[in-house]
Amino acid sequence: MPFQLHFSAEVSEALRDNRPVVALESTIIAHGMPYPKNVETATAVEQIIRDHGATPATIAILGGNIHVGLSAQQLNELGTAKDVWKVSLRDLPFVVSQHLHGATTVAATMRIAAKAGIPIFVTGGIGGVHRGAAYSMDVSADLTEMAQTNVAVISAGIKSILDIGLTLEKLETLGVPVVTYGSDLFPSFYSRESGFKSPLRLDAPSAIAAMLAVKWELGINGSVLIANPVPVEHEVPHVVMEEHIRKALDAADTAKVKGKDITPFLLKYIAEQTVGESLAANIELVKNNARLGAQIAVSYSAK
């Protein structure tokens, strides 16, 4: 075998005993939040998942080894190392065969979670169709991965650095159902609204788990995007974020940022512009997603 999955003891025991497991991505740790908030948040998110009856499996690549479940020391390494690749699907074979460190995006995390037998995955926000994609053709590989891999994604919606309308259109084309938990409005990460209605709404984790079971039993491959609105007390209003996002997009344009660097550039710029406010919202929404993801995993595994 040119590679193997390295499971933590906690994750391999849970999978062996058919207990619920929740996969977590690592780009958010290495490229989405500053140290030490990144490591603190990742640690707290894992504990929330345990407190809700599931086992957390943070997925990342260390020295070319694909890890499913990290120790505290490995999490710290990932959160502090300077040479961590942002690994989407196309980067995965390179980073593994070259024995590098890599933080996995939604697309790469989904693929590894599927290989590991973990159908439930929690993140903050997914990649999607960028504003101006009609010219740049910048569409995240997260979407094409969601079209084919049977791993549900729990997110706080789609950040408006992207074109939310076009992203919803693309998900429709790809056959990916979009369900908002407990709201008619599709959320936009920091905000509970986005200007778009949610295509679907469900109000209970067990109802979401039942929908996943039906989809995959029908042989309809691919993901379901579950949007979980940020709790109201932690939300940053949509109009406030829109202004910061416009500035961030202008700055990216001026600095001629291209390709895979665009998303991390925008996220960092917005975090700096909003001095902590957006970061606090970001941390709380990921924790909120961890709670829902664990509840869905518990319900799904009972089926």
Site residues, Mn ion (CB under 5 A): 138
Q: What is the DSSP letter of 255?
A: T
* 61, β-bridge pairs: 66, 102
Measured from the Cβ of residue 301, the count of other Cβ atoms closer than 10 Å reads: 17
Minimum distance from residue 109 beta carbon to ligand PSU (Å): 8
Stretch that binds ligand PSU, among 47-55, 77-85, 139-147, 169-177 (CB under 6 A): 139-147
Which residues in the 32-61 window bind ligand PSU by CB under 6 A? 32
Minimum distance from residue 9 beta carbon to Mn ion (Å): 36
Closest to ligand PSU by CB, 284 or 299 = 284
DSSP E strand stretches across 88-157: 101-104, 120-122, 152-155
Q: Is 87 helix (H, G, I), strand (E, B) or coil?
A: strand
Residue 67, CA atoms < 13 Å, CB-side half-sphere:
29
Contact, 197 vs 186, CB < 8 A? yes
Contact, 121 vs 22, CB < 8 A? yes
For residue 40, indicate whether it is catalytic: no
Q: Which of 38, 76, 88, 188 binds ligand PSU (CB under 6 A)?
A: 88
Binding mask of the shown chain, residues 230 to 269, with x at each position contacting ligand PSU by CB under 6 A: ------------------------------x--x---x--
State yes or no: residue 187 binds ligand PSU (CB under 6 A). no
124 binds, among Mn ion, ligand PSU, none (CB under 5 to 8 A by kind): ligand PSU
DSSP E strand stretches across the chain: 5-7, 21-24, 55-62, 65-68, 84-87, 101-104, 120-122, 152-155, 178-181, 200-202, 225-227
For residue 25, indicate whether it is catalytic: yes
Minimum distance from residue 229 beta carbon to ligand PSU (Å): 14
Between CA 31 and CA 263 the distance in angstroms is 9
Query: C-alpha distances in angstroms, 274 versus 142, 236, 270?
Result: 26, 10, 6
Closest to ligand PSU by CB, 241 or 298 = 241
Stretch that binds ligand PSU, among 20-28, 36-44, 113-121, 177-185 (CB under 6 A): 20-28
Closest to ligand PSU by CB, 110 or 294 = 110
Minimum distance from residue 140 beta carbon to Mn ion (Å): 5
Q: For binding to ligand PSU (CB under 6 A), which residues are involved?
A: 25, 27-28, 32, 88, 105-106, 124-127, 140-142, 159, 189, 260, 263, 267
